[in-house]
Amino acid sequence: MVFSSNIFLFFFLPIFLIAYFITPQKFRNYTLLLFSIVFYAYGAPDFVFLLVGECVINYFIVRAMGRTDGVHTVSTTKKKNLCALSVIMALGLLLYFKYANFFMENLNTILGWAHHEPVDWMKVALPIGISFFTFQSITYTIDVYRGTTPPSQKLTDYVLYIMMFPQLIAGPIVNYNSVAAQLVSRTSTMEDRVVGFYRFVIGLAKKVLIANTMALYADHVFGMAYGDLATGTAWIGILAYTFQIYFDFSGYSDMAIGLGKMMGFRFPENFNDPYTSRSVTEFWKRWHMTLGNFIMNYLYIPLGGNRKGKGRMYFNLWLCFLLSGLWHGASWNFVLWGAFHGLFICADKLFLKNALKKIGMLPSVVITFFLVAMGWVLFRVDTAADAGAFYQALFAFKGGLTVAGDAQFWCVFALAIVFSFLTLVPFGQKLQDRIFADNYSKPLSWTMFAITLVLFILSAGSLCVSDFNPFIYFRF
């Protein structure tokens, strides 16, 4: 089940909201937990028990690790071992379900080169959301290990932290420390609920009205033989994908944050106008910020960060991005994408960031956007060879196969550009700050309410209309 689906919008969400708000405050966590389990079980009937089981086991491991009677604490060795056990268990599941197929494919390729028989292997299915809940589980374990936060006192609260449906499938990656207090006690004012709803609908519109329109064009271009593409079409295709991925992912995050706010949770922001960045370094401070924070706090800093000399710092940076690429997908093109960004992060540290500062804001934004878009080629294609062919199409400056965009595509494309770069101008920044404010004046709130109503109807209509292609008669 996804947020942008009829079954979620018209059935699951209404039932959940009614049930949640009529439940007395002290039982609301149970209501949320029940609906979250149903949400996950709907889409992953074979993995829901795995997830719940893993949560239960991890809860007890971490509780044992964080046990203290006020005077004596668990020994450091035992604490380390339990922490390692918890992390290994979480990473082990991730490695098995997400990377076993990748590993076996590569092993069989190598065996093929060595003229050996390939190993028979039954492909493993991927539990949805595993990349996100694994990282959340790790933040909990390590935060307790570091003493940043005590372990959860209730099993149900911990399971809720992992399985809460707003952020279970696609983030934001919420570290335990930031929501621990909210799990135990939180309030949601009427303003929170309504503003949360505004945010949810804005996210829905970004996904359904913008991202899906861009996706139609991008899928068409990327479905063609890259060698035959006209250069102009290749460029429009990658730009369409660049906007698709941003509005899709940020839209989903908006929906998660909005739903959380309705319930009184304050989830961290995940996107901050990333395409207005003036360097790749800045891009990663604005794109998927919760992933960036996770990588920094739980990988880069433990590896030594920048405290062990410049050489080690560049290695750490590059390794973090390599692993980040691999986290996004079990395929060499994702690894290349990570390496691509790692390279430019290192280049920023060396010379690039300073050089971009000198040439002015607009050129640096354009160059950074160009680099990010080139990175998305690696992200979108299936193989490294395909990436090469697409880059060729981009820079061959030749004619070939074209895809004509219609008026709707160009209009939405223009809107995507405007919304992506709006905050480059002061008026745009002010407008965004007003729309995503914490406090709304009465006239503004009614304006927002009217806008979200229209956006909701259009988004709902778009969802209802997809795959609805009636014939005149049954024989047509």
Q: Distance between CA 454 and CA 451 in Å, rounded? A: 5
Q: Which is nearer to another protein, 301 or 411 (CB)?
A: 411
**Can you say whether residue 101 is alpha, beta or left, with left for phi > 0 and alpha for psi between -120 and 50 degrees?**
alpha
Contact residues toward another protein (CB under 8 A) are 1, 5-7, 9-11, 13-15, 17-18, 21, 42-43, 45-46, 189-191, 193-194, 197, 406-408, 411, 442, 445-446, 449, 457-458, 460-465, 467-476
- For the chain, the residue count is 476
CB of 474 to another protein, least distance (A): 5
CB of 349 to another protein, least distance (A): 47
Question: Phi first, then psi: what are they for 73, rounded to 5°?
Answer: -115, 170
Q: Which is nearer to another protein, 113 or 471 (CB)?
A: 471
Lookup: tokens for 115: 């003229």
CB of 460 to another protein, least distance (A): 4
CB of 162 to another protein, least distance (A): 22
Query: Residue 369: which of 280, 245, 250 has the closest Cα?
Result: 280
Q: Which is nearer to another protein, 368 or 459 (CB)?
A: 459
DSSP string of 147-173, one letter each residue = TSSPPPS-HHHHHHHHH-HHHHTT---
Lookup: tokens for 441: 């004046």
- Does residue 328 carry a catalytic annotation? yes
Q: Which is nearer to another protein, 205 or 339 (CB)?
A: 205
Q: Which is nearer to another protein, 325 or 405 (CB)?
A: 405
Q: Which is nearer to another protein, 188 or 281 (CB)?
A: 188
Report whether 218 contacts 158 (CB < 8 A): no
CB of 240 to another protein, least distance (A): 17
Q: Distance between CA 95 and CA 40 in Å, rounded? A: 21
CB of 120 to another protein, least distance (A): 24
Q: Which is nearer to another protein, 272 or 462 (CB)?
A: 462
Q: Distance between CA 321 and CA 338 in Å, rounded? A: 5
Report whether 179 contacts 265 (CB < 8 A): yes
CB of 451 to another protein, least distance (A): 12
Q: Distance between CA 263 and CA 255 in Å, rounded? A: 13
Lookup: tokens for 231: 């250069």
Report whether 157 contacts 120 (CB < 8 A): no
Which of 220, 288, 328, 341 is flagged as catalytic?
328
Q: Distance between CA 183 and CA 155 in Å, rounded? A: 12
Q: Distance between CA 30 and CA 51 in Å, rounded? A: 17
Lookup: tokens for 104: 């076996």
Q: Which is nearer to another protein, 169 or 174 (CB)?
A: 169
Q: Which is nearer to another protein, 23 or 156 (CB)?
A: 23
CB of 403 to another protein, least distance (A): 12
Report whether 394 contacts 221 (CB < 8 A): no
Q: Distance between CA 448 and CA 172 in Å, rounded? A: 24
**Can you say whether residue 403 is alpha, beta or left, with left for phi > 0 and alpha for psi between -120 and 50 degrees?**
beta
* Sign of the CA dihedral with 414 first, then 416, 417, and 423 last: positive
CB of 470 to another protein, least distance (A): 2
User: Burial level of 100, CB count in 10 A (0-12/13-18/19+)?
Assistant: middle
Please list, in sequence order, all residues whose beta carbon lies within 8 angstroms of the beta carbon of residue 49, skipping any fewer than 6 positions away.
none
Q: Distance between CA 106 and CA 240 in Å, rounded? A: 32
Strand pairing partners for 73? Answer: 68
Residue numbers annotated as active site: 328
